[in-house]
Amino acid sequence: LVLAVGNDGQWRRFCVAAAHPEWADDERFADNPARVRNRESLVPLVETVMRTKRTAEWKEVLAGADVPHAPVWTYADLFASPQAAARGL
């Protein structure tokens, strides 16, 4: 699953959806420049929490929280998609 958290509002919604609202108030992650500076600390936290649910569960949770995301598809998934079928792929 790819997260596309591009602003502070999305970050806050992600933190709540991930059951870690305290991350939004952590000065290391308070805004996008801080998150970039502290990426080495942030990425392992996010990776750990993302492993707690299956992709389908996260898609539902993140969609409900209005957090931009997308699944990472295999070639089989891609060609089995309704869009690929509609395009005759």
pLDDT recorded at residue 19: 98
Render pLDDT for 15-66 as a digit per residue (tens, 0 to 9): 999 999 999 999 999 999 999 999 999 999 999 999 999 999 999 999 999 9
Give kind and range of the element (H or E) at residue 70.
strand 69-70
Could you tell me the pTM of the whole model? 0.85
C-alpha torsion angle, residues 35, 26, 19, 13 (rounded to 10): -60
* Spans of all domains in the chain: 2-86
How many CB atoms are closer than 10 A to CB 26? 16
pLDDT recorded at residue 64: 98
| CATH architecture for the domain at 2-86 | 2-Layer Sandwich (3.30)
pLDDT recorded at residue 78: 86
